[in-house]
């Protein structure tokens, strides 16, 4: 059965929301997009012409409450919470917060979208913040099961009184946006669907603010302010039938099949992974026991092909812990040998701290490299343990 995005993935969405910082700003939406790097916007809570950090923190808290669910997490309770916070902060639509005038923030007409205390503005803020976190959570979950569900279908998940593209909406409809973003129509019976592989660049283009002024610069739902659009996960059999048997790159790689759907001869017999270019050593392996390194290489050689990011990260963390543990033992033995009662001279302490810093830097370098090249090649290219 096809998987439709529910009010979804609360654990992942909640975790992402809690990890964000605050970005107070007197700028409007368009200026924020120009002035703030996308990476900064992705990990921050911000709102047009909102320079009060305490209120932004309240928005983050309200979004987290809705994502988590439970007591007083309904939209009405959250609006009351934010309005109460605005009152305590002495916000007034015409004068803003204290200091807003000096920042050049213009007055707002009470009840308008620019009025931070209006239901219209509060609903927009919560819809956007919650939608962005849910969309990111759905994407993260979906990319972990690409083989079973290789594609997304863009569908309406929330009704709108005036949908984009309707005669009096004054905006481009989603079918037209799909075409402008480079999406290919997929015909199923008499229907034409907006469906594409999860890796298709159309998803990034749909949320591109340079293509669509109301876009949110994300590659997942909701794509644009108040869109009401979301994803339906498309099962493998349905996607192959709808796309005429053309598989996504992820599916072909995992299944070991060619573009024609025939199994490669090379996959019938297990082959060793292709050789990769061994990079130059990036750090010393002093502190890594020889038996640990040998066991790690043996484990990697038993796994053909490249490691996933998750596997590489786990191995990188394992190496980091082993090196740190070994370094501590080494330092304790040196300190005890030099001066057991006092724990070493100041000069010795500084030297040992430098060694620890080198070890930690090396461990981080290993973890970073593991995400970019085959970890086995990194290990094979490392210097021998001193």
Q: Which two tokens stand for residue 196?
A: 């594409």
Mean per-residue pLDDT, 180-193: 92
Residue 257 confidence (pLDDT): 46
Share of the chain above pLDDT 90, in %: 45
**For residue range 15-55, what is the model confidence (pLDDT) as tens digits?**
777 778 899 999 998 899 888 888 888 889 999 999 999 99
Question: What pTM, to 2 d.p., does this model score?
Answer: 0.60
Is pLDDT at 206 greater than 90 in this prediction?
Answer: yes
- Contact between 299 and 292 (Cβ < 8 Å): no
Q: What is the mean pLDDT of the chain?
A: 75
Is pLDDT at 119 greater than 60 in this prediction?
Answer: yes
The dihedrals phi and psi of 178, each to the nearest 5 degrees, come to -55, -45
- Contact between 232 and 4 (Cβ < 8 Å): yes
Higher per-residue confidence, 34 vs 205: 205
CA dihedral 302, 306, 311, 315 (to 10 degrees): 70
**For residue range 71-107, what is the model confidence (pLDDT) as tens digits?**
889 999 999 999 999 999 999 999 999 999 999 999 9
- Contact between 76 and 62 (Cβ < 8 Å): no
pLDDT band at residue 169 under the 50/70/90 scheme: confident
E strand residue ranges, the chain: 3-4, 21-22, 44-45, 151-156, 186-188, 191-193, 195-197, 229-234
Residues 56, 32: Cα–Cα separation, whole Å = 15
Give the residue carrying structure tokens 């021998």. Answer: 384
pLDDT band at residue 232 under the 50/70/90 scheme: very high
Is pLDDT at 157 greater than 90 in this prediction?
Answer: yes
* Nearest alpha carbon to residue 222 among 140, 282, 138, 99: 138
Cβ-proximal residues to 71 (8 Å cutoff; 6+ apart), any chain: none
Share of the chain above pLDDT 70, in %: 59
Higher per-residue confidence, 65 vs 284: 65
Mean per-residue pLDDT, 324-336: 54
The alpha carbon dihedral of 338, 327, 385, 357 has a sign of negative
Higher per-residue confidence, 385 vs 108: 108
């Amino acid at each position: 059965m096809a998987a439709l995005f529910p009010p979804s993935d609360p654990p992942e969405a909640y975790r992402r929301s809690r990890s964000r910082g605050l970005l107070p700003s007197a700028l409007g939406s368009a200026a924020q997009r120009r002035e703030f790097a996308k990476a900064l916007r992705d990990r921050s809570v911000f709102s047009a012409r909102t320079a009060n950090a305490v209120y932004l923190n309240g928005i983050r808290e309200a979004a987290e409450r809705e994502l988590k669910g439970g007591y007083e997490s309904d939209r009405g309770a959250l609006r009351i919470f934010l309005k109460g916070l605005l009152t305590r902060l002495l916000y007034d639509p015409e004068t803003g917060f204290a200091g807003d005038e000096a920042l050049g923030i213009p007055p707002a007409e009470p009840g308008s979208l620019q009025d931070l205390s209006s239901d219209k503005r509060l609903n927009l803020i919560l819809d956007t913040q919650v939608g962005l976190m849910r969309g990111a959570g759905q994407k993260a979950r979906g990319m972990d099961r690409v083989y079973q569900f290789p594609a997304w279908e863009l569908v309406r998940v929330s009704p709108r009184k005036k949908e984009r593209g309707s005669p009096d909406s004054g905006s481009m409809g989603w079918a037209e946006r799909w075409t402008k973003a480079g999406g290919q129509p997929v015909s199923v019976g008499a229907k034409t669907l907006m469906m594409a592989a999860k890796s298709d660049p159309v998803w990034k283009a749909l949320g591109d603010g340079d293509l669509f002024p109301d876009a949110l610069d994300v590659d997942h739902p909701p794509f644009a302010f108040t869109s009401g659009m979301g994803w339906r996960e498309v099962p493998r059999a349905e996607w192959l039938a709808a796309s005429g048997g053309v598989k996504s790159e992820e599916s072909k790689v995992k299944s070991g099949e060619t573009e024609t759907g025939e199994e490669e001869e090379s996959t019938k017999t297990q082959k060793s992974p292709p050789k990769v270019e061994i990079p130059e050593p990036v750090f010393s392996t002093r502190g890594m026991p020889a038996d640990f390194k040998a066991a790690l290489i043996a484990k990697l050689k038993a796994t053909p092909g490249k490691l996933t990011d998750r596997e590489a990260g786990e191995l990188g963390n394992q190496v980091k812990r082993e090196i740190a543990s070994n370094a501590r033992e080494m330092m304790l033995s040196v300190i005890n040998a030099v001066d057991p009662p006092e724990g070493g001279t100041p000069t010795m302490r500084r030297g040992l701290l430098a060694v620890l810093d080198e070890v930690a830097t090396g461990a981080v370098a290993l973890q970073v490299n593991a995400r970019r090249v085959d970890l086995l090649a990194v290990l094979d290219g490392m210097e021998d343990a001193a």
